[in-house]
Each structure stands twice: as C-alpha cells, then as structure tokens.
C-alpha cells in the first residue's frame, strides 16, 4: 500500500526527487544546477551531501528521494555492507551510480545493488533519462 501511495504522490506532483551523495562538492553543485535547469522543474534535488552519514538526517525526516545519485568514490570498501546500510535508510529509493571512465569494471561487482550506472561525463539527456527510468519505470510523466 505504501508503494502505491508513493506512486500517486509522484504522479500528483509530477516531479522526481533526487538526493546526491558525493565527496566532490563541485560535482554535487554541477549536478544540482544541471538537474534544476535542464528538466523544466520535473526533477527536484531534495538534498546533497558528502557522505551517507550526513544524508541520514533526511532519512529521519520521512523524506525519501525517488533516486539516490551516488558517486562511485563513496563505494570503495565493503560494498555489500555499504549498500545494505543504504537500503535500510532508503528502502524505496532507486540507486543510480555515477562512475569515472576508468572505473567501468566497478559496475560488475555491484550490479545487484544498483538500478542504473552512468558515466560522470555522460550527456545531460542520458543522466535525466536514467533518473526517470529508475524513478518511474512504467509510468510516463507529462
């Protein structure tokens, strides 16, 4: 029932909510600007932060983003533990992992944990499309 209520709320507001987790402050700023400018307000950046611990503040407020945009630099040790902790904090959020060109092999280890992978150098259209595919896989936003 909770997932159904969430889908109705998403359709009503006609927006997808995103949280950005990256230690790179410039990267977070660039993605925030890109997502707010390029999407005609169809994507809302709820929060951003350098770590999962800092993002935990949002989890306690019952604000769960539709998509978590995570820098692959966050996931370097004990991936299984990291993603299980992430799933406890945000059980209904889809995870989109941002990777560097040279980190392409990282994706093989963690395909079971994430719903999508994009390169940090991807086009804005590719990023936005990946976010919408994860947030609303079978529903088209107007």
User: Which of 47-56, 73-82, 99-108, 118-127 has the weakest average pLDDT?
Assistant: 99-108
CA pair distance 92, 81, nearest whole angstrom: 18
51: left (phi over 0), alpha (psi -120 to 50) or beta: beta
Q: Provide the pLDDT for residue 20.
A: 92
Q: What are the chain's domains?
A: 2-135 (3.40.50.2300)
CA 56 to chain centre: 14
pTM greater than the 0.85 cutoff: no
- pLDDT tens digits for range 87-97: 888 888 999 99
- pLDDT tens digits for range 21-56: 998 999 999 999 989 886 677 898 888 888 877 766
- pLDDT tens digits for range 8-18: 455 445 789 99
Average pLDDT over residues 106-133: 84
């Amino acid at each position: 029932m909770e997932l159904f209520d969430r889908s109705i709320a998403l359709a009503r507001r006609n927006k997808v909510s995103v949280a950005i987790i990256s230690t790179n402050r410039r990267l977070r700023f660039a993605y925030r600007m890109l997502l707010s400018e390029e999407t005609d307000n169809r994507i809302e950046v709820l929060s951003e932060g350098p770590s999962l611990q800092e993002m935990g503040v949002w989890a306690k407020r019952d604000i769960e983003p539709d998509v978590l945009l995570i820098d692959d630099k966050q996931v370097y040790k004990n991936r299984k533990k990291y993603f299980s902790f992430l799933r406890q904090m945000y059980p209904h959020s889809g995870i989109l992992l941002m990777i560097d060109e040279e980190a392409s092999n990282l994706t093989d280890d963690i395909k079971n944990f994430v719903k999508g992978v994009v390169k940090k150098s991807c086009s804005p259209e590719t990023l936005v499309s990946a976010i919408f595919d994860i947030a609303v896989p079978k529903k088209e936003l107007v």
